[in-house]
Amino acid sequence: MRKIVIFIFAFASLSLYGQETLDDLLKRFNKNNVPYISVQELAMPKTNAVVLDARELDEFNVSHLKDAIYVGYDNFKLETVIKQIPNKDEAIVVYCTLGVRSEVIANRLKKVGYTNVKNLFGGIIEWKNKDFDVYNIKNKATDSVHVCSSYWGKWLKKGKKVYPKVLKSND
């Protein structure tokens, strides 16, 4: 009987506390000082925003949103964005894998005076989970999404998970 009670308590604890939502994840990692835009809102035809991809180049090459401009994260250059988007009132949406790195980049844009910057809630993973197309480096639709690691990859429910290549000692 004692084992049954322990099992029920353990199962209830997992059910109550083990199911982190995407909202929980983003609240834990982000400061929420950049407004979100949902994938559904971004996908609407009337949304005329410049879309910036704040992931690394290998991630972008696997898949990205149509017409997204690669800006990177580790090698992000604010000067390049300023040259590409001189109008600081232009609607801009920044995305990454789930919305953590994109908040950092969006904040950098806000600090230099961009007034209409949003963070894509759930990033490319949520985009794919909602059945929107992603495109590879040849601009062909693909099911592949670079997920960085198994921790982030657990959020991808639709599509093919692509993990970083690990160099072997003889590579």
Residue 1: strand, helix, or coil: coil
Residue with tokens 């559904």: 40
Q: Is residue 9 part of a domain?
A: no
**96, 100, 148, 162: the active-site residue:** 96
Residue 14 counted as domain residue = no
51-64 pLDDT, tens digit per residue, is 999 999 999 999 99
Distance between CA atoms of 7 and 116, rounded to whole angstroms?
51
Q: Is 7 within a domain?
A: no
Asked if residue 168 belongs to a domain, the reply is no
Mean confidence (pLDDT) of the chain:
88
* Beta-bridge partners for 14: none
Task: Specify if 119 maps to a domain.
Answer: yes
Q: Is 148 a catalytic residue?
A: no
Kindly list the distances between the CA atom of residue 20 and the CA atoms of 14, 50, 75, 164, in Å, as whole numbers in the listed order: 10, 31, 31, 24
* 25-54 residue pLDDT tens: 999 999 989 999 999 999 998 889 999 999
99: CATH: 3.40.250.10
Quick check: is 97 in a domain?
yes
For residue 160, give the H/E element and its range: strand 160-162
CA atoms within 13 Å, Cβ hemisphere of 103? 16
Domain assignment present for residue 126? The answer is: yes
Residue 5: pLDDT band with limits 50, 70, 90: very low
Number of domains in the chain: 1
Residue 96 located in a structural domain: yes
pLDDT of residue 18: 62
Cβ contact 29:14 at 8 Å = no
Q: What is the pLDDT of residues 109-144, one digit of tens each?
A: 999 999 999 999 999 999 999 999 999 999 999 999
Q: Containing domain of residue 26, as a range?
A: 20-162
